[in-house]
Chain A
Amino acid sequence: MKFLNFLRGETFARGIHPPQNKHTAHTPIRRLPFAPELVVPLSQHIGKAPRPMVQVGQEVVRGQPIAKGEDWLSVPHHAPATGVVEAIELRPSARGPWTESIIIRPYAGATQEDLWGVPRDTSVMDGPEILQAVWDSGLVGLGGAAFPTHAKLMVPKQAKVHTLVVNGCECEPYLTCDHRVMLENTKELILGMQLAMRATGAVRGIVGVEDNKPDAVAAIQSVIDATRLDNIFVEAVPTKYPQGSEKMLLMALFGVEIPSGALPVSLGMVMNNVGTLAALGQLLPAGQGLTERVVTIAGPGVSRPGDYRVPLGTPISFVLEWAGASAQPSSHAPSACQLVLGGPMMGQAVASLDTPITKGVSGILVFHPEDMADRDGRRTFPCIKCGECVESCPMGLNPSALGMLAAKREYELMGQRYHLGDCFECGCCTYVCPSNIPLVQQFRIAKQVLREKASAL
């Protein structure tokens, strides 16, 4: 198979090619109006939740900090709209449990400009200043992981970073927000890269873009050419899922395997998502905080799909209404639909329409039962050992064996002998399995059990 990969010009072993369905790639980003109520959950990122700085009844202007980071892995929040703080209370979150949120009612007549930011000259800022500014902007990884960006750009003392890798793959079907950002905010992206390179000490920056977005590559290249940058490159990598994974992209660009358990920084590289860096290039010169983000709203259940610039905290129900998700169940006879936050391969099904858009939400997809019928109508067979999953696992695991062990609840063995810990839950194995076995779902449970066991010790 390696030989076939070589012939096809593929970049890492295995992986899959799901149908792209990027229907919204050619429509410009539109802006969404403000919802009558914005819900800003305090916990939006990996790390500790920040502490609210406002009281109920207090007026806030757009961009004003409303929550302060408590410790190193905690970033501030900024008011997404000019209005009044209506409440600080528990609200449902995408994952289900209710979390503490700041509720803001925007003023109907307000111009909703960002009144807080103070423009500054980024060209004179040095590394630590940039890091502090990134921290203050409340920026987290906008690709989905929502890891605080300042922490990612902070290089450990003993490591030396030479390359900033920018992830413009967007390999998930349906999602196009990064694609649009690369086309529309190219200059900000380049500026963000330069700032991040200065902060990390990298001497070159490389944007890896999947070759199904040649216009994005061309747009970035034209900015590079126009500004005669000699240390920023853009590289097209062949389209394949899960290219957007850190390890896979580094394999595609450099041909190196990040050792299991290690971070790219151990090889002198720092990786960020294009959306994050474009936001960085936008926010830092303006001295603003993150108050909105681009979200792809798509899927067969949406009548006006597109990429929207959405104020953080906008409830999903409002977004869906705006995008024309069929609010009436009558048009789709069965009375169920499925909402996914993120892409269809790794995105998370959401339990409540009241949950808001947070910093890590890259897409909202709406599927109807008809779209799912094909999948659900299928019988589940025992593993017929067809080997499809082994052939598709980018981490080189044996999902077939793992699945059989999971069925027997041999979780320890899965971890010890079959490298369960390396599985990053990309879902390729479940996607391809003709027996319709929920492999990655079983692995999640197994990992959870192992984690609990480990913490119980």
Chain B
Amino acid sequence: MSTAIEIRSAPHIKAPRTVEQIMRNVVGSLLPVCAFFVYQYGVSALASLLCVTAACLFTERLFVKTGTQSGSLSDWSAVITGLLLALTLPPGFPLWMGCVAGVVAIALGKALFGGIGFNVFNPALVGRAFVQAAFPVAIASYTPSFLPGRFINFIPSTLAWPMMQPPDTTAWLQNMQIDGLSGATPLAKWKFDGLMVLPQDLLSSLAGHMAVGPSPLLILACGAYLALRRFMDWRIPVAILGSAGLTAWMLYGLDPVRYPNPFFMMFSGGLMLGAIYMATDMATSPVTPRGMWVYGALIGVLTVVIRYYSGLPEGVMYAILISNAATPLIERITQPTPFGKSGLLQPKRGASYPLHPEYISREEANAVTPKKRLLKNKPKP
């Protein structure tokens, strides 16, 4: 053999999974959510998705080009940020504000920390937090979904001139003579008007009928797909929804008149999107399995607390951002227990052969003779 020999160190094989593949799959799973979002809100939603994503990609490219951050567009992570950011904005959000959000998301949320993997806060939420502070009115004006003519006409606020306040949509809505549908989200209604959402309304809001943004049920389904293919950790969403539901249920038990039922808590607002797509952002969530539970539980509880006791109708964003900041601490206190340090010297229940720390006799050994078990390690009684 006259061939050159290459030397590398073990392992010499590699699992097929790559970062690009993970990101591509997340984007893929977001597409149905986006499609339904467009179906709900028409051209305005489509324009918003495209503009915000483009702004994110442009900013990412800029920073990669100038060498400020590592990474490239081919890793798809900027697309995820763009799509998620657009999904958290109201459908009629002025496009120029959406672009600002996209630029801020990548520049402050990601590039500032050094690019993919190094960011501390979820970039999409950084962008959203910025516009929430900068444009509080625009971000609170939701329009109802399934408006007639949504595929032909933009919601007037969408096309506001840059640096201009968007026109008020209330008059426009009244013009369209759709009474009984206000632009407030169910959460805002509950919070500011003290109106409890009726069960049938809640059900329709699950499918995305009311002014709620993307459909929680669809997000749940797409998240389940991601989790099953192991592109997302299932622990975090389960912990968030579980703890939010539990906290809300406890409060509801204390005072059912003042607090909404836990079901409403779990399915309203941005909790589903946040729990499944935002909180699970790998770079900003703990790596340790135990840490994931703690982190998820923290988000769930914080969400409910902020929703109930602050002046804001929605609490998911701040809950996630606060927990992002707490991630290094959570990680530090939830390191996995190394093998052999758990003190598990006694056999676990279900171990195939009992183990005697001291010498055992022939008779004893024979007494524990197992039946031959092929292909299964059935526990012995």
Chain A residues within CB distance 8 Å of chain B: 1, 9, 11-13, 16, 18-19, 160-163, 173, 203-204, 206, 211, 214, 217-218, 221, 230-231, 233-238, 247, 251-262, 267-268, 317, 320-321, 325-327, 329, 332, 335-340, 342, 344-353, 365, 367, 369, 372, 374-375, 378-379, 381-391, 393-398, 400-401, 418-419, 422, 425, 427, 430-432, 434-436, 438, 440-441, 444
| Chain A: minimal CB distance from B380 (Å) | 11
Give the complex CA separation of A383 and B116 in angstroms.
8
User: When the two chains form their complex, are residues B347 and A378 in contact, meaning their CB atoms are under 8 A apart?
Assistant: no
Q: How far is the CB of A215 from chain B (nearest CB, A)?
A: 11
Contact present for B282 and A268 (CB under 8 Å): no
| A236 engages B353 (CB within 8 Å) | no
- Report how far A236 CA is from B4 CA in the complex, Å: 42
B232 closest partner in A (C-beta): A386
Given contacts A258-B340, A262-B340, contact A430 B11 (CB under 8 A): yes
Is the pair B339, A384 in contact by a Cβ cutoff of 8 Å?
A: no
Q: Which single residue of chain A is at the shortest CB-CB distance from B1?
A: A327
Interface check B6, CB cutoff 8 A: yes
- Contact of A434 with B19 at beta-carbon distance under 8 Å, contacts A1-B289, A268-B357, A384-B282 already known: yes
Cross-chain contact B288 with A16 (CB below 8 angstroms): no
Q: Contact flags (1/0) for B326-344 with A, using CB distance below 8 Å?
A: 0000010001111111111
B3 contacts the other chain (CB 8 A): yes
A367 neighbours in B (Cβ, 8 Å): 12
What would 12 more interface pairs be, CB under 8 Å, given A162-B356, A387-B288?
A: A231-B365, A256-B345, A256-B347, A320-B1, A340-B12, A375-B13, A378-B14, A381-B71, A386-B287, A422-B338, A425-B10, A438-B9
* CB contacts between A and B, total, < 8 Å: 272
| B118 interfacial by beta-carbon distance below 8 Å | yes
Known contacts A381-B116, A431-B11: does B374 contact A236 (CB below 8 Å)?
A: yes
A and B contact pairs by CB, cutoff 8 A, 9 listed = A211-B375, A335-B4, A340-B10, A349-B8, A372-B6, A378-B18, A387-B288, A432-B15, A434-B21
- Identify the B interface with A (CB < 8 A): 1-19, 21-22, 70-71, 75, 114-118, 233, 282-283, 285-289, 292, 331, 335-353, 355-362, 365-366, 369-370, 372-377
- Contact status A236-B13, CB under 8 Å: no
Select which of A13, A233, A317 is within 8 A of B1 by beta carbon. A317
- Complex CA gap A230/B363 in Å reads 10
Docked complex Cα distance between A335 and B5 (Å): 8
A192 to B342, CA, bound (A): 35
A273 to chain B, nearest CB (A): 19
Cα distance A372–B336 when bound, in Å?
Answer: 33
Closest 4 CB pairs of A and B: A255-B351, A427-B11, A382-B117, A255-B348
Taking CB atoms, residues of chain A closer than 8 Å to B339 are 12-13, 247, 251, 257, 260, 394-396, 422
Which residue of chain A is the closest to B71 with respect to CB atoms?
A381
B9's contact among A162, A173, A441, by CB below 8 Å, is which?
A441
Q: Which of A1, A236, A254, A430 contacts B373 (CB 8 A)?
A: A236
How distant is the Cα of A173 from the Cα of B11 in the complex, in angstroms?
Answer: 11
Least Cβ distance of B91 to chain A in Å? 31
Neighbour of B13 across the interface among A332, A379, A418, A431, CB < 8 A: A431
Measured between C-beta atoms, what is the minimum distance from B335 to chain A in Å? 6
Check B1 against A345 for contact (C-beta < 8 Å): no
A114 to B143, CA, bound (A): 91
Residue of B nearest to A12 (CB): B339
A380 to B370 alpha-carbon distance, docked (Å): 49
Select from chain B the residue with minimum beta-carbon distance to A220: B372
Which residue of A257, A346, A397 contacts B345 across the interface (Cβ within 8 Å)? A257
A431 to B12, CA, bound (A): 8
A11 touches B377 (CB 8 A): yes
Return chain B residues, CB-CB under 8 Å to A340. 10, 12
Q: Which residues of B contact A321 (CB under 8 A)?
A: 1
Once A162-B356, A434-B21 are accepted as A-B contacts, the answer to whether A338 and B374 lie under 8 Å apart by CB is no
Residues of B within 8 A of A382 (CB): 70, 114-118
Q: Which of B5, B115, B287, B358 contacts A160 (CB 8 A)?
A: B358
Give every chain B residue within 8 A of A397 (Cβ-Cβ): 336, 338
Among A203, A346, A386, the residue within 8 A (CB) of B282 is: A386
A348 touching B372, Cβ below 8 Å = no
When distances are taken between beta carbons in the complex, the residues of chain B under 8 Å from A349 are 6-10, 12
User: With A and B bound together, what is the CA distance between A11 and B344 in angstroms?
Assistant: 14
B14, B283, B286: most-surrounded residue (chain A CB, <10 A): B14
Do the beta carbons of A387 and B6 come within 8 Å of each other? Answer: no
Known: A253-B353, A394-B339, A432-B15. A337 touches B377 (CB 8 A): no
**Distance of B302 from chain A, by nearest CB (Å):** 21
Chain B nearest CB from A209 CB (Å) reads: 10
Query: Which residues on the A side are within 8 Å of B353 (C-beta)?
Result: 206, 235, 253-254
Bound CA–CA A256/B118 (angstroms): 39
Selected from B11, B349, B359, the residue in CB contact (under 8 A) with A346 is: B11
* Bound: A211/B376 CA distance, A: 8
Min CB distance A261 to B, Å, is 8
Name the CB-closest residue of B to A266.
B357
CB of B11, distance to nearest CB on chain A (Å):
4
Task: Write the nearest CB–CB distance from A87 to chain B, whole angstroms.
Answer: 23
How far apart sit A78 and B361, CA to CA, in the bound complex (Å)? 39
Report the minimum CB–CB distance from B9 to chain A (whole Å): 5
The reply to whether B369 and A396 contact each other, CB–CB distance below 8 Å, is: no
Q: Which residues of A contact B376 (CB under 8 A)?
A: 9, 236
Give the interface centre of B10, B12, B287, B369 by most chain A CB atoms within 10 Å.
B12
- A233 & B12 in contact (Cβ 8 Å cutoff): no
Closest chain A CB from B287 CB (angstroms): 4
Complex CA–CA separation, A379 to B296 (angstroms): 31
Given A203-B362, A206-B353, A434-B17, check contact A345 B11 (CB 8 Å): yes
B5 nearest CB neighbor, chain A only: A339
Residue of B nearest to A439 (CB): B11
Residue A268 contacts which of B115, B233, B356 (CB distance < 8 angstroms)?
B356
Please determine whether A255 and B350 come into contact, CB atoms closer than 8 angstroms: yes
Q: Is the CB of B366 within 8 A of A230?
A: yes
Q: How far is the CA of A217 from the CA of B371 in the complex (A)?
A: 13
List residues of chain B with CB within 8 A of the CB of A160. 358-359
* B63 CB to nearest A CB, Å: 15
Task: Look across to chain A and name the residue whose beta carbon is closest to the beta carbon of B235.
Answer: A1
Q: Is the CB of B1 within 8 A of A16?
A: no
B2 to chain A: closest CB distance in Å?
A: 6
Q: Which residues of A contact B375 (CB under 8 A)?
A: 211, 214, 236, 238
Closest chain A residue, CB of each to CB of B117: A382
- Residue in chain B with minimal CB distance to A212: B375
- Residues on A with beta carbons closer than 8 Å to the beta carbon of B331: 401
Contacts of A393 in B (CB 8 A): 336
Residue of B nearest to A339 (CB): B5
Pick the most buried of B283, B339, B344, B355: most chain A CB atoms within 10 A of its CB.
B339
Whether B288 pairs with A252 at a CB distance below 8 angstroms is no
Whole-angstrom distance between the Cβ of B236 and the nearest chain A Cβ: 10
> Taking each of A350, A387, A422, which has the highest tally of chain B beta carbons within 10 Å of its own beta carbon?
A387
